[in-house]
A and B are shown apart, each in its own frame.
Chain A
Amino acid sequence: MIEDVRDLARKWLEGKEVDAIFGLKEHDGYIAPYLFTAASELDNLTISTEYRLCYTCRPIKENILALMQRREPNTKIGIVARGCEERALIELAKRGQVDLDRLKIMGIACTQEEAKECKCERPYPSNLVIGERVKGVSEDEDINALLNKSLPERLEFWRHELNKCIKCYGCRNACPMCFCKDCKMEQEVFSETGWLPPEIPMFHFIRWYHISERCIGCGQCEKACPVDIPLLTIFKLLRRDVKDLFDYEAGMDVEQEAPLLTTLDEMPMKEEVPSGV
């Protein structure tokens, strides 16, 4: 699999189809995002579930792909992308962050183990280039456990979980869809300086609400969390809700505008949907 990725990347670079390949590089046992410009470097190109390539770099508050595209307006970048990364790129393009015309996406499929690890519902890109399509994980115990709780039990559960938060902003920093330069989670009104844990549930609510319609379900927030708050549970539920309410799925079609950015005439809302209670 990795050999196929390297071979194709080499072909793209040598054939001048792209000017550089954005992927993960292995160096002394460590893995980090890297922009490959020479075919000779490609032996170190690797794939890993540890990183997503299209996150926003803090504290410079720039999406790294957007930054590269702006600095080099005439280059075409090839990117090794899993299903979630491809969906993230589509969502980012929809919101004017990256230019898909100047990207060549090498869609790779995840293995069954990787899909299980990420609790991924769709572990393959829509434009699959390398690898075999495996089935996604449809059943999530965390979701069923939450839905089986009564309202007071849910509140108690979240009170316990959110109390662990150390306000590291890891969830936001790892999220490919969190690209705002001015983040509401840093505003004094919504999260006071010097408070630990941050205001419950406001701090996490901000992200749940802001990312609700654009969550691509990559699970990076939950993976990044040092205290294991099950953030993905609500995101996954919201992905279902957005689908029920607006018949919309994030990261599928770059032409389809997001529900919260459109009017009711442009994208109607279904009135009768089963409640979350």
Chain B
Amino acid sequence: MAEFEPKILAFCCNWCSYAGADLAGVSRFQYPPNIRIIRVMCSGRVEPEFVVKALSSGADGVLVLGCHIGDCHYIHGNHRTKKRMAILEKILSYLGIDPRRMRLEWVSAAEGGRFAEVVTEFTEEMKGLGPNPLKEVRV
């Protein structure tokens, strides 16, 4: 049987992380092809509902990537993301979904290498966790 290939959804903010992903591309850093990117204007746009929707619609892991604290294009957008995701992690664990399936990371526009690193590491972690059990719950 072939190795389990997780499906990973990444929300990247327009100003830092998406540009970071772009830089990873133009710099030809290698990272696993399991990731699908959705560009949002700010990581503050990512509602915890999006993450749950992604998980129940078949994603094995969700990455939320934004600017470093203090570098947000909208000043305080990522402050809110951080607080929201902390609560989301709690609810996920109470519901019986491994909170590691959601990860919040800060990737700046200059960190192409870090983007590749984060994606590689996260993909490996998801491979270790196996398929997302929530997929089967949806009738």
Residue of A156, A241, A246 touching B90 (CB-CB under 8 A): A241
Interface contact A201-B93, CB-CB below 8 Å: no
Interface contact B94-A209, CB-CB below 8 Å: no
Interface contact B96-A206, CB-CB below 8 Å: no
Mask of B55-77 contacts with A, CB within 8 angstroms, 1/0: 01000000000000100000010
Residue of B76, B82, B88, B95 touching A155 (CB-CB under 8 A): B95
Contacts of B56 in A (CB 8 A): 199-202
A245 to B85, CA, bound (A): 12
Contacts of A269 in B (CB 8 A): 82-83, 86
Which of A15-23, A59-67, A83-91, A145-153 participates in binding chain B?
A: A145-153
Interface contact A263-B94, CB-CB below 8 Å: no
Contacts of B98 in A (CB 8 A): 151, 277
Residue of B48, B69, B79, B96 touching A158 (CB-CB under 8 A): B96
Contacts of B96 in A (CB 8 A): 149, 151-158
Contacts of B49 in A (CB 8 A): 184, 190, 202, 205-206, 209
A15 to B1, CA, bound (A): 83
Mask of A239-265 contacts with B, CB within 8 angstroms, 1/0: 001100110000000000001100111
Whether A121 is near chain B, meaning CB under 8 Å from some CB there, is no
Mask of A13-37 contacts with B, CB within 8 angstroms, 1/0: 0000000000000000000000000
A171 to B86, CA, bound (A): 24
A51 to B31, CA, bound (A): 57
In this complex, the member of B56, B88, B90 whose beta carbon has the largest number of chain A beta carbons within 10 angstroms is: B90
Within 8 A of B (CB), among A109-125: none
Within 8 A of B (CB), among A155-186: 155-159, 184
Contacts of A264 in B (CB 8 A): 69, 76, 79, 82-83
- A275/B99 contact (C-beta < 8 A), A152-B133, A213-B87, A269-B82 known: yes
Whether A237 is near chain B, meaning CB under 8 Å from some CB there, is yes
Contacts of B138 in A (CB 8 A): 199-200
Interface contact A154-B53, CB-CB below 8 Å: no
Interface contact B79-A155, CB-CB below 8 Å: no
Within 8 A of B (CB), among A198-249: 199-202, 205-206, 208-209, 212-213, 233-234, 237-238, 241-242, 245-246
Residue of B80, B97, B134 touching A260 (CB-CB under 8 A): B80
Whether B28 is near chain A, meaning CB under 8 Å from some CB there, is no
Interface contact A276-B93, CB-CB below 8 Å: yes
Interface contact A151-B93, CB-CB below 8 Å: yes
- A276/B90 contact (C-beta < 8 A), A155-B133, A159-B137, A189-B53 known: yes
Question: What distance in Å separates the Cβ of B89 from its nearest Cβ neighbour in chain A?
Answer: 8
Contacts of B97 in A (CB 8 A): 151, 155
Interface contact A277-B83, CB-CB below 8 Å: no
Whether B84 is near chain A, meaning CB under 8 Å from some CB there, is yes
Whether B41 is near chain A, meaning CB under 8 Å from some CB there, is no
Given contacts A200-B138, A205-B95, A233-B94, 11 further A-B contacts (CB under 8 A): A151-B93, A151-B96, A199-B138, A200-B56, A202-B53, A205-B91, A209-B49, A241-B90, A260-B83, A263-B76, A269-B82
Sampled A-B contacts (30; CB under 8 Å)? A151-B98, A152-B133, A153-B96, A154-B95, A155-B133, A155-B134, A156-B96, A157-B96, A190-B53, A199-B56, A200-B56, A200-B137, A202-B56, A208-B91, A209-B91, A213-B87, A238-B87, A238-B91, A245-B87, A260-B83, A260-B84, A260-B87, A264-B69, A264-B82, A265-B79, A269-B82, A269-B83, A275-B89, A276-B89, A277-B93
